[in-house]
Amino acid sequence: MGLFGKKDKPPTEPRDLLSAYPVRPEWEYLLTLGAPYLEYYAGENSSLILADLTKGREGKLYYPVWGICNPPSLESAIAKLVDDSFTVGARPGKIKSARKVAAERFGGAAIPGADFSIERISQITDFGGLHLEFVAHLARIEMGISWGTEDHALGLLHSVYDEVSRRFSTWSDYMISAVAASQLLDQNLNFPHSSPAIYLRLLQTGYHSKYPLGQ
């Protein structure tokens, strides 16, 4: 059993990620990174996304939005994603609308230690969460098509975690950022519409209390 969970296909019914994707205890704190993509890939729609991502012979990855077609282009895309994550949300009018959508989709969920109130959402100013989620997603894809070693993919996830810890004080702030950013970005990062529900199920397990950011 490795970082990326069971090899057999998990059930598609709602479930908490910690039990559906058991990982080594020392890696469990990385599980929330890219969690919506992880859940979506394991669900019944995974073949549709894989059809968009994989072209040609097995082991080839093609993602036209970011020009990804080989390992070097993947590294370049990741660097650009992180760099672009600092510039998301430059238009104030769209930010107000994106915050409103995030508030509606999280529905003021009451989870101890997580704040999804309208007041808190209005205070989020860093909308780079979705780019960072996508980098975590690419790390798992890299492993799935055997472009790199598990250690390399794990290193990417560690880098994302460090960046998230530096820029966000709580997991809920990071999740709000990702969902709001999905309303701000023009490019298609295939962010699942069910992301808020997936995030909330993860938090309901107490994940954020067990693995607070930066600790």
Report if residue 6 sits inside a domain: no
Tell me the average pLDDT across 78-89. 82
Report if residue 9 sits inside a domain: no
Least confident of 27-31, 43-47, 92-96, 150-154: 43-47
User: What is the total count of domains within the chain?
Assistant: 1
Element (H, E) at 32: none
Report if residue 115 sits inside a domain: yes
CB 125, CB 167: distance < 8 Å? no
Report if residue 40 sits inside a domain: yes
Provide the pLDDT for residue 180: 93
Report if residue 2 sits inside a domain: no
CB 4, CB 41: distance < 8 Å? no
Q: What is the DSSP string of 121-135?
A: HHH-----HHHHHHH
Provide the pLDDT for residue 127: 92
- Give the confidence band of 215 by pLDDT, cuts at 50, 70, 90: low
Domain that holds residue 55: 17-210
- 79 has pLDDT over 90: no
- 199 has pLDDT over 60: yes
